[in-house]
Chains A and B, each alone.
Chain A
Amino acid sequence: MRYVKLPEENFEEFFNSLKKWGIVYAPVKKENIYSFQKVQNVSEIALDYTRTMLPPKKFFVRPKDEMLKLKEGHWEEANGTEPIVLFGVHSCDIHGLEILDKVYLSDPVDPYYKKRRENSIIIGISCMPDEYCFCKSLGTDFAMHGFDLFLHELPDGWLVRVGSVKGHEIAWGTEELFEELTEEDMKNFREFEEKRANSFQKHLNKEGLEDMLDLAYNSPVWKKYERICLGCGNCNMVCPTCRCYEVCDLWMNAYEAVRVRRYDSCFMESHGLVAGGHNFRPTRLDRFRHRYYCKSYFDPSAGFNCVGCGRCDEFCPAKIEHVKVLDEVREGLQ
């Protein structure tokens, strides 16, 4: 990895230089909600944001996505992809994208996802946890790969980690904006990281989590939460690793149809419905529990299916807390 420094006074120029790499999206604050939006000026960006409502997955697996267009009886690719720059992605979300990569880029490769990933530049930014974050417990609080550049806050600028060839190219093109790092910068970087590590309020006990959960299949805790949960599926929509989708064909007019993919949620009754009206997850209990099992599955090559971003807590209308549910299930076993 290459480390350089971007002094504060060069930040704006650096940001503006990114526009030649693609359309720049960055976190923007609207009322109390942050979201990734098209951005022209540095002043529009909320650099110290906590989390956006929809994670960056929305650029690669879109909430509603036209894949194919039917023209004279044949499918054509619906939309091209433009190069984009995602500016200000947090470490947990970078890990989230890597989990999606595992799924969408494994054989057979999802062509839509792949094209968009290849056409995107990811620029990470450091953050301070709030009361919902528990990425540290899952080891997703620091990204070692999955980004082109990563900006770490320093008192007088940014420590920049260059994480890919594309990242090198970007830095190369604006070489005059960067400086070598000093001992002082390294000290400040370590201090920031230390302060950050000590700021987490939420911790997930992941010791033997998969086995613990498996044993607790019949735990009364699931039943307790089944009654509180509204089954709205918000937690699925906002989760950076949830990626169930539905597909349907829609007619635009008598001659043209589109094949559309859209987010689906395992909280919907139709999610497990098959021919004959048989449902493999007929009750809300089945569906609530399923989500926790899916999120807590540990893949040796990709880790847990949860990156601890805290979105499902912040955006749950029933105020259900992910870590609290898991803790209660664990307590119920003892």
Chain B
Amino acid sequence: MSFQTHDARILEVKELTSREKLFTLRFLDPEINRKFKYKPGQFVVVDIRGFGEFPISLCSTPTREGYFQLCVRRVGRMTKYMHNLKEGDIVGIRGPYGNGFPMEKMEGSTLILVAGGLGMAPLRSVLWYALDSGKYEKIYLFYGTKAYEDILFRDEIIHLLKHGEDMNCHVKLAYEVESPSCIYLEKGYSPRVCKGVVTDLFRGESFDVNNTYALICGPPVMYKFVIKELLDRKLSPGRIYMTLERRMRCGVGKCGHCIVGTSTSIKYVCKDGPVFTYWDALSTRGLI
């Protein structure tokens, strides 16, 4: 692991929604490019010189080499600046940081990905990794979004709604705000698209809890409800993975911002996580 920032060029900028853009990047130094290996669930720290640094999840998959992608929501100063960048511009990147999801350990099992809003970004990495590697029994994606306009990677999601079954990938979508586009989607893919929240998507689904892992990422309020749903179905806490967000500055266990827990168990979200199991949450207060 290193603290060092490396220059990366923006190869492509794609507008995903009115707030989120997808940046495709590659390191200038081919050697660094070759060495840059990451796991789904890990993140990088983007350095915009003269403006600052911020952590962003890798949303591409390591199975597709030569580039990596970041999905950035415009929320403040630095992310706004990032949104103004164009193809060919250069930013600094350090990482990858964090533990990532244990993809190898989960091979042969069914994966249930539960995403809320921007939580789709890190889970997209898992999704494409699982599809590319073909080593997983079945993949479910339960994706909760506010409105049609907010669906991240909309083309990919609609593609998977259409053709996912051929790849053992079962996509379900819940939206909150009704619109003609949503109703159109709902008509086309009922009952896999419905109005409601992400937990509604569990209805009618059953899993072999001994051979299933759940991977969750979304806004803080989502975790409690999704975990309850999973525990009700007797999924073991050790099979529930979630990726968490905290304020992060250094990303490597120095700046102290992401420390959670109490005297018996202190965790750094940046280096002990950001992926934790529900067992971790039970033994470390304040994790969720």
Q: Is B49 a contact partner of A75 (Cβ separation < 8 A)?
A: yes
Report the minimum CB–CB distance from A331 to chain B (whole Å): 17
Q: Which of B2, B219, B249, B256 has the most CB of A within 10 A?
A: B256
A271 to B266, CA, bound (A): 17
Q: Which of A108, A111, A292 has the most CB of B within 10 A?
A: A108
Chain A residues near B245 (CB-CB < 8 A): 274-275
Chain B residues near A270 (CB-CB < 8 A): 247
Q: Is B2 a contact partner of A294 (Cβ separation < 8 A)?
A: no
Given A247-B52, A278-B219, also A107-B1 (CB < 8 A): yes
Chain B residues near A298 (CB-CB < 8 A): 263
Chain B residues near A111 (CB-CB < 8 A): 3
Partner of A109, one of B3, B49, B249: B3
Q: Check: B186 CB closer than 8 A to any chain A CB.
A: no
Given A244-B257, A276-B219, also A294-B285 (CB < 8 A): no
Interface 1/0 per residue, B238-275 and A, CB below 8 Å: 00000001110110111111011111101000000000
Q: Check: B202 CB closer than 8 A to any chain A CB.
A: no
Interface 1/0 per residue, B62-82 and A, CB below 8 Å: 000000000001011000000
Q: Check: A8 CB closer than 8 A to any chain B CB.
A: no
Please report which residues of chain B, range 182-201, place their CB below 8 angstroms from some CB of chain A when the two chains form the complex: none
Q: Check: B286 CB closer than 8 A to any chain A CB.
A: yes
Report the minimum CB–CB distance from A238 to chain B (whole Å): 16
Report the minimum CB–CB distance from B265 to chain A (whole Å): 8
Q: Check: B279 CB closer than 8 A to any chain A CB.
A: no
Q: Check: B53 CB closer than 8 A to any chain A CB.
A: yes
Partner of A210, one of B1, B50, B264: B264
Q: Which residue of A lies closest to B3 (CB)?
A: A108
Q: Which residue of A lies closest to B49 (CB)?
A: A70
Chain B residues near A214 (CB-CB < 8 A): 262-264, 285
Report the minimum CB–CB distance from B267 to chain A (whole Å): 10
Q: Number of A interface residues, CB 8 Å?
A: 46
A272 to B220, CA, bound (A): 13
Chain A residues near B5 (CB-CB < 8 A): 75
Q: Check: A204 CB closer than 8 A to any chain B CB.
A: no
Given A70-B50, A108-B252, also A272-B263 (CB < 8 A): no
Please report which residues of chain B, range 208-250, place their CB below 8 angstroms from some CB of chain A when the two chains form the complex: 219-220, 245-247, 249-250
Q: Which residue of A lies closest to B50 (CB)?
A: A257
Residues of A within 8 A of B (CB): 70, 73-75, 103-104, 106-111, 209-211, 213-214, 217, 242-249, 251, 257, 259, 264, 266, 270-276, 278, 280, 292-294, 296-298
Closest 9 CB pairs of A and B: A244-B256, A210-B263, A257-B50, A296-B263, A213-B263, A293-B262, A108-B3, A214-B264, A297-B266
Known: A70-B49, A244-B256, A297-B261. 19 other contacts (CB 8 A): A75-B92, A104-B254, A108-B2, A109-B3, A210-B263, A213-B262, A214-B285, A242-B256, A247-B52, A251-B50, A257-B50, A264-B256, A270-B247, A271-B257, A273-B247, A275-B73, A293-B261, A293-B262, A297-B266
Could you jot down 30 A-B contacts, CB within 8 Å?
Answer: A70-B49, A70-B50, A73-B49, A103-B253, A104-B254, A110-B254, A111-B3, A217-B285, A242-B256, A243-B256, A244-B256, A245-B250, A245-B255, A247-B52, A247-B53, A249-B51, A251-B50, A257-B50, A272-B246, A275-B73, A275-B76, A276-B75, A278-B220, A280-B220, A280-B286, A293-B263, A294-B266, A297-B262, A297-B266, A298-B263
